[in-house]
Amino acid sequence: DAKTTQPPSMDCAEGRAANLPCNHSTISGNEYVYWYRQIHSQGPQYIIHGLKNNETNEMASLIITEDRKSSTLILPHATLRDTAVYYCIVRRNYGQNFVFGPGTRLSVLP
């Protein structure tokens, strides 16, 4: 499994964009980048995933570099409810398990 590296913590002002980086320099060509978040001690929640193209949904945008060695999750207008631990995970589809590292603790400040 490809490993990911994330900063342990970040702050963001409420209303501003939160940009969460993830390095995955050993990612293979058939591995996807997934993002999950965990609010307090709730079960992690799926946010978004992508292979090589940038992706956007109602929660966030995922920007993957052309060489696929890193990615950025963007929360365009962070709110206090976005305070959570964000996990970046790489995995193949169809059968490979998710490996959750320690993630990035994002604090959205008023």
Partner 1 sequence: DADVTQTPRNRITKTGKRIMLECSQTKGHDRMYWYRQDPGLGLRLIYYSFDVKDINKGEISDGYSVSRQAQAKFSLSLESAIPNQTALYFCATSTGNTGELFFGEGSRLTVL
Give the footprint of partner 1 on residues 37-76 (CB under 8 A): 41-46, 49
| Options 16-24, 59-67, 73-81, 98-106: segment touching partner 1 (CB under 8 A) | 98-106
Does position 94 interact with partner 1 (CB under 8 A)? The reply is: yes
**Rounded CA separation 48/78 (Å):** 16
Does position 7 interact with partner 1 (CB under 8 A)? The reply is: no
Question: In whole angstroms, how close is the CB of 77 to partner 1 at the nearest point?
Answer: 24
Q: Given candidates 62, 87, 104, 106, which one binds partner 1 under the rule CB under 8 A?
A: 87
**Rounded CA separation 70/26 (Å):** 10
Residues in contact with partner 1 by the rule CB under 8 A: 34, 36, 41-46, 49, 87, 91, 93-103
